[in-house]
Copies of this chain bind each other. A is one copy, B any other.
Amino acid sequence: MTAPDARPPSRDPQALVERVLRGDRLALARLITLVENRSPAVPEIMKALHPRSRDAYVVGVTGPPGAGKSTLVDRLTAHLRAAGDSVGIVAVDPSSPFTGGAVLGDRIRMQAHALDPGVFIRSMATRGSVGGLARATGEVIRLLAAAGHPWVLVETVGVGQTELDVMQLVDTTVVVLVPESGDAVQTMKAGLMEAADIFAVNKADRTGAPGLMAELRFAAHLHHASPTSRKDVDWEVPVLSLQAQHDVGVTELLAEIRRHRAALEASGVLASRRGERLAAEVETLLTDEFRARLHRQARDEPFRAILDAVAAGHLDPYTAAARLLPMISLEPS
């Protein structure tokens, strides 16, 4: 695994794109790094891959730390591989903005599937803004899809706002809980209900599991019956029992994922949600570009003088913003 390439491949983005479309793993890894580093080549890369970037079905796995998400992702991967499909995995760790905490988990997991060319794993930690993480995750998902993986699994830690943003990028969200996470469930119940397509109670042999499952089933049923719940697809969130470490319940979970996919496809909701997601991405791209131009212009007069007056307390931010807005150029650069 650590042997150097005798002939390092080209870093030319177009050449990398062609190699990714032929299934070259090393080229895929390079493209992902370009995307993570916000290379100026990213727009060209994403344009070139666009026609192939919607071919994967994307499953999110989220839940509190210690719920066994990584183990579950490993088991799901093994089942999908046994069925002959290749799998792309994105592990997102937004909980540690300063440390890049995803690296260790990545290394540990790489061992299990290191020799399987049908599995591609990538970890992503927060770099700078949280919004940036969700955007980069979306791009990596599409790279994995374009590289020919029919399944992409996205694992995130926790169910805070960042995770909910990332979960907007997936087709089916599995929320993994353990009996110990009962308190978290109380706090987050409404958010969990909005986010989850399937509940999986892991370590289901422990005390408290039947109680948690009953509670979740009741909440899921109430939520489904509620007039305020999302009604574009008729789906009552199922609650499954799981012992991922012993491979118990994984077959059933995969069957529920396939059933949810079928419901989304039959109702036309899968296509419409993916369309909304792409339109939302346009907004993100526009806002990012606006901010980039703002930063460029902020270095020069008369922009700079206005910001300095604000920092010195001589001018309030609202007056400054009203003066600066028409000074920003949106012409093609």
| Contact yes or no, A331 B322, CB < 8 A | no
B164, A317: Cβ atoms under 8 Å? no
CA distance A331 to B194 in the complex (A): 39
Which residues from B are CB-within-8-Å of A194? 98
B43 x A275 contact (CB < 8 A): no
For A130, the closest partner residue in chain B by CB is B161
> Are B162 and A161 interface neighbours, CB within 8 A?
yes
| CB atoms of A310 and B279 under 8 A apart | yes
Which residues of chain B have C-beta atoms less than 8 A from A325's C-beta? 286, 289-290, 330, 332
In the complex, A283 has a CB within 8 A of chain B: yes
Whether A188 lies near B328 (C-beta < 8 A) is no
What residues of chain B lie closer than 8 Å to A287, measured between beta carbons?
287, 290-291, 294
Residues of B close to A311: CB separation below 8 A: 275-276, 278-279
Whether, in the assembled complex, A101 has its beta carbon less than 8 Å from a beta carbon of chain B, the answer is yes
13 contacting pairs across A/B (C-beta < 8 A): A47-B316, A47-B318, A97-B161, A99-B189, A130-B130, A161-B162, A279-B311, A281-B317, A285-B318, A286-B321, A286-B328, A326-B331, A330-B330
Alpha-carbon gap, A289 to B60, bound state (A): 33
Sample of 7 more A-B contacts, CB < 8 Å, known A97-B164, A322-B332: A43-B318, A97-B161, A274-B313, A275-B311, A276-B311, A278-B310, A285-B321
Cβ of A54 < 8 Å from any Cβ of B?
A: yes
In the complex with contacts A318-B46, A326-B331, A97-B286 CB distance below 8 A? no
The 8 A-B pairs at the shortest CB distance, nearest first, are namely A275-B311, A50-B316, A285-B321, A43-B318, A99-B190, A98-B190, A281-B317, A98-B191
Contact A282 B324 (CB under 8 A): yes
Q: Is the interface of A mostly helix, strand, loop or mixed?
A: helix
Contact of A294 among B95, B189, B274, B283 (CB under 8 A): B283
Contact for A286 among B126, B160, B188, B294, CB less than 8 A = B294
Q: Which residues 171-204 in A have Cβ within 8 Å of B in the complex? A: 187-191, 194
Does A187 contact B285, Cβ atoms closer than 8 Å? no
Cβ–Cβ < 8 Å partners of A310 in chain B: 275, 278-279, 281-282
Q: Indicate if A305 sits at the interface (CB-CB under 8 A).
A: no
Q: Does A65 make an interface contact (CB < 8 A)?
A: yes
Known contacts A50-B316, A161-B162, A313-B278; A188/B95 CB under 8 A:
yes
Q: How far is the CA of A189 from the CA of B99 in the complex (A)?
A: 8
Q: Do residues A46 and B160 form an inter-chain contact, with CB atoms below 8 A?
A: no
